[in-house]
Amino acid sequence: MRNTLLISLLLALGLTACGKKEEAAQPAVPAMEPAPAAAPAPEAAAPATMDPVAQYTSQCASCHGPNGQGQGAFPKLAGHTADAIKAKLADYKAGKQVGAQSALMFPIAQKLSDEEIDALSTHIATLQ
């Protein structure tokens, strides 16, 4: 009986020692942050606000002059209505041959949005 009691006690002690392990401390892993959500696409892209005076100065004045008086082979713009300028720019944007310098105007006009053509035409109509 003593042997049975001793064996039972050793068995219980062995099972207790084997039954529960202390978990080794694991190094702290930084929490994964979710990827930032992509910015929502704009419902309708707001038209770029273009300064027509700056646009004229940078894209037009070198050929048509600072006041739209024309230079050499490049025609005078001053004195034309906004609608007339707008129609010419729309033709150039569409690739229509309007005059001798049309090929020079195509890439310039094709970069302009309809809103930019409106603003630029309105500015050019004020030149004297």
The ranges assigned to domains in the chain are 52-125
> Which CATH entry fits the domain spanning 52-125: 1.10.760.10, 3.20.20.70, 3.40.630.30, 3.40.50.300?
1.10.760.10
For residue 115, the model assigns a pLDDT of: 96
C-alpha angle with apex 63: 62 to 69, nearest 5 degrees? 105
pTM: 0.61
In which residue are the tokens 């090929």 written? 103
Q: How far apart, in whole angstroms, are the C-alpha atoms of residue 128 and residue 122?
A: 13
Closest Cα partner for 123 from 56, 60, 59, 69?
A: 56
Taking the chain (128 residues) in consecutive chunks of 10 residues, what is each chunk's mean pLDDT? 62 57 57 60 57 94 95 93 96 93 94 96 95
